Structure 1
Amino acid sequence: MAKQHTVRTLFALCLALLMLVALPAKANVEKFGDVHVHYVAFSSTFLTPAIAKAYGIKRSRTSGLVNISVLDAGKQGSPAMAVGIKGEARNLIGNRVDLDFKEIREENAIYYIAPIDYSNEETFRFKIDLTLADGSVKTVEFQQKFYAD
């Protein structure tokens, strides 16, 4: 059980670090009032083999992950929010990929991750719809270029 807790802690730290360094010139957050949506897309090779195995994530030079977390900034400590989530990605020639998000809960954190396969230097435009507890829908759109490393 201690090993599983360590892997989960490492996973949370990896995702937090990736969110901080993914695009240093731009904060990867979309704010809808007190609802703050943090997002990042990155190569699965940034995850250690142990973390990828623990979460059933395919780790390859042409596989990426989209990570979304939603915080309620209107509450003390900005706690994580559970949301309904669906999304899609389109490359520059219009090919569409439906994103299959998996919810991960760790202590007080909630992450939504979805795998995406890509070719070297392929750019995707992401559209993520989040359904909040009150039934409202918030949409986050961003673009990411992937490299086969």
Structure 2
Amino acid sequence: MGRLLSFLLTACLSVTAVAADAIKAERQEVFGDTTVHYSTFISTFLQPDIAKAAQLVRSKHQGVINVSVVKAGKPLVTQVSGTITDLTSKSVPLEFKQINEPGAIYYLAQYPVEQQETRTFKIEVGVNGKTETISFNQELFPGE
């Protein structure tokens, strides 16, 4: 599971934008003294053993969103939920699962990527006793 953390942190913190492969550089939002980091990528970028350990499906038609919340330099246990909406306004709920590792807590959800298109993500995160909403658009490409 430590390899999973290493991969996801690398994907979240140091990946450069490669639009053709549907990877975007890590994004973040700051709410007072709390920072929410988030990134998306196609699940085939995960090694098979890492995907299995996180109970994720590896497929060129499955994306992953990774969310982590940090307060005062320490990972924060919180509530994370969200939806992904296509251009026809069809919305699919994101079912996040919490992953705990020494020194890290992050939340993962998978979503379908049937074709190249832009989707809108709406993520709700419990921060400092209230719910904060992060919305962003992401152009998605099925993997190779």
TM class, shorter-length: 0.7 to 0.9
The within-5 A match list for 1:65-144 is 65-72=64-71, 75=72, 78-132=73-127, 134-144=128-138
Unaligned 5+ segments in structure 1 are 1-7
Task: Return the offset for 1:22.
Answer: 4.9
Identity of aligned residues (%): 34
- Distance in 2, matches of 1:22 and 1:13, equals 16
Task: Return the offset for 1:23.
Answer: 3.5
Unaligned 5+ segments in structure 2 are 19-23
Task: Give CA-to-partner distance per residue, 1:12-35, whole Å, 9 cap, x none.
Answer: 111111112153896501111111
| TM score, norm. by length of structure 2 | 0.88
Runs of 4+ in 1 over 4 A off after TM superposition: 24-27
For the 8 Å contact 1:123–1:145, the answer to whether it is kept is: yes
The within-5 A match list for 1:7-86 is 8-19=1-12, 20-23=14-17, 28-72=27-71, 75=72, 78-86=73-81
Could you tell which deviates more after superposition, 8-17 or 99-108? 8-17
For the 8 Å contact 1:88–1:128, the answer to whether it is kept is: yes
Code of the aligned partner of 1:128: I
Secondary structure of 2:75's aligned partner: coil
For the 8 Å contact 1:22–1:40, the answer to whether it is kept is: no
Code of the aligned partner of 1:87: G
- Distance in 2, matches of 1:34 and 1:16, equals 20
Change beyond 3 A, Cα 1:26–1:10:
closer
For the 8 Å contact 2:98–2:108, the answer to whether it is kept is: yes
- Distance in 2, matches of 1:23 and 1:87, equals 23
User: Residue 4 of structure 1 aligns with which residue?
Assistant: none
Aligned residues: 137
| TM score, norm. by length of structure 1 | 0.85
- Distance in 2, matches of 1:87 and 1:117, equals 14
Change beyond 3 A, Cα 1:27–1:45:
closer
Task: Give CA-to-partner distance per residue, 1:15-56, whole Å, 9 cap, x none.
Answer: 111112153896501111111000001100010001111121
